[in-house]
Amino acid sequence: MYTDLAVCYAFVRLITFSVCWYRSSILFLTFIFYTSYHLSRKPISIVKSELHRNCSTVIRPADLNITNNDTWCDWAPFDQNNYQTLFGILDNSFLVAYAIGMFFSGMFGERLPLRYYLSAGMLLSGLFTALFGLGFYWNIHSLGYYAFIQVMNGLVQTTGWPAVVACVGNWFGKGKRGFIMGVWNSHTSVGNILGSLIAGVFVSSAWGMSFIVPGLIITFTGILCFFFLVEKPEDVNCTPPHHHDSGETEPLMQNSPHVDRTINGAISTEPVEIVAEHTEAISFCRALRIPGVVEFSLCLLFAKLVSYTFLYWLPLYISNVAHFEAKEAGDMSTLFDVGGIVGGIVAGLVSDYTGGRATTCCVMLLVAAPMLFLYNYIGQTSLGVTIGMLLLCGGLVNGPYALITTAVSADLGTHESLRGNSRALSTVTAIIDGTGSVGAALGPLLAGLISPTGWNNVFYMLISADVLACLLLSRLVYKEVQRWCGCVPQARG
């Protein structure tokens, strides 16, 4: 009897270890994958200040006989007075293509193997990122060339987000999803930081390498994905996690009719009811009818508008206002992303503890608005103040953005109204992030149009977007407050 009991305990421990190992590997691999996506997007913001420089501060080589030309060190066609508009065209070539492609990417992700879909996306992203940098070595000065590369890169990069969120959602139940995904979502900021640092190494000597090196990195991660990604628990005979009742014991192996459970110190073998999973792909309209999808999507539109404006314009703002060189401005801008890592983790922890995803986002956005105002007015008074304000603003701006694109998307993509249709996760994620990507395209575009009138106006635009994001969550916040006060029963799922 004791021998049988020991064998049962050993079997349960072996299964648990196997599932934990797979989950850890999925978190690690998808973290690396999406880090490489963001790493390859960041160089353009660092290189901007090199494409159009203050040539009067640059030592002119003795062999260049140039007179009365203040733009001799710039890279045509960005040597014109409308260079900020041209930079806006590059940003929006990527972001508009990304926003449009994202609405279709989720549907492709549901119908294609995620491992192949992700691998192809990373390989193509590496190709187009490197092609942008090769323009330096091929001496290309055509705006059309760089804009076309940005459009193509924007389209292929839509493969990343719905696929990695779907992979993580397939392996993890609701439980502590906010904290887990808050830590996991730091890949966005880590990618931005690494992209800034790598681009900064080459920007002043040969800016083409600022794109080629990240392109090679994301190509390598695409190869890694092809050989090692396990996209679903069923692929290795593990049962998917429960998404609605966190107190329910999760069966670990799908093909076992009985599962050993520990009850009061003893092993009990009980039949487990296996719920048939709906395998048909969800429609776009049905996904929109899931409660909360529309509100969080529109909120993310304005939250991402703020975040991506900082992503694409912060190094140039620091360079113009604080008079840093391109490399130093890029390095300083990484503090915003460091704050974003902490903000995403804090948002996940708080939302797990309180059960209020919408309220957590709303409070952080409300506090972010006055902090953005203060950063614009006192952020450059001293190095210490600059560092502190960048960290604080990064956490408050990126915290809600990180929470909505990860834990909230996974919650809604596995909502109980779907009745077990786990294939909806990719579509719901794509709808939310696709709507947010519209804001990501609008932010840098508006910044490019507004910045010639003064940076103050850019920050007023960002503060207004933060306030609008809060207002769009007001109905969901009200419902959460009602639930905390016991006015309505807590909904499952």
Nearest to 121 by CA among 164, 66, 83: 164
Contact status, residue 345 vs residue 186, Cβ threshold 8 Å: yes
Distances in Å between the Cα of 208 and the Cα atoms of 131, 133, 191, 215, 356 are 9, 4, 19, 11, 45
Q: What is the band of 413 on the pLDDT scale with cuts at 50, 70, 90?
A: low
Architecture per CATH, 2-54+80-234+279-484: Up-down Bundle (1.20)
CB 477 within 8 A of CB 362: yes
Q: What are the start-end ranges of the E strands in 369-459?
A: none
**Residue given tokens 């939250």 in the structure block:** 303
The pLDDT of residue 258 is: 40
Structure tokens given for 297: 């999507």
Asked if residue 150 has pLDDT above 90, the reply is yes
Name the 3-class secondary structure at 387.
helix
- pLDDT, tens digit, 9 for 90 and up, residues 155-182: 999 999 888 878 887 787 655 566 777 7
Output the pTM of the full model: 0.72
- CB burial of 435-452 (b: ≥16 within 10 Å; e: otherwise) equals bbbbbbbbbbbbbbebbe
pLDDT (0 to 100) of residue 214: 96
pLDDT given at position 62: 56
What does the chain come to in residues? 493
Q: Which of 98-107, 182-191, 365-374, 376-385 has the highest mean pLDDT?
A: 365-374
In the chain, domain spans: 2-54+80-234+279-484
The tens digit of pLDDT for each residue in 261-298 reads 433 333 333 333 334 444 555 666 777 777 788 888 99
Cβ–Cβ < 8 Å for 136, 204 = no
pLDDT in tens, 99-149: 888 878 877 877 788 899 999 999 999 999 999 999 999 999 999 999 999
Using CB atoms within 10 A of its CB, is residue 424 exposed (0-12), middle (13-18) or buried (19+)? buried
Evaluate whether 450 touches 457 at the Cβ level (below 8 Å). Answer: yes
Q: What is residue 12's predicted lDDT score, i.e. its pLDDT?
A: 43
Identify the CA nearest to 311 among candidates 222, 394, 200, 392: 394
E-strand spans in 272-422? none
d(CA 230, CA 234): 9
Q: To the nearest 10°, the Cα dihedral for 393, 397, 398, 401? A: 180
114's CB contacts (< 8 A; 6+ apart) are: 163, 166, 167, 229, 231
Q: Euclidean distance between the first and final Cα of the chain, in Å?
A: 41
Contact 409, 165 (CB under 8 A): yes
9-33 average pLDDT score: 73
Confidence of residue 314 (pLDDT cuts 50, 70, 90): confident
Is there a contact between 79 and 347 (Cβ–Cβ < 8 Å)? no
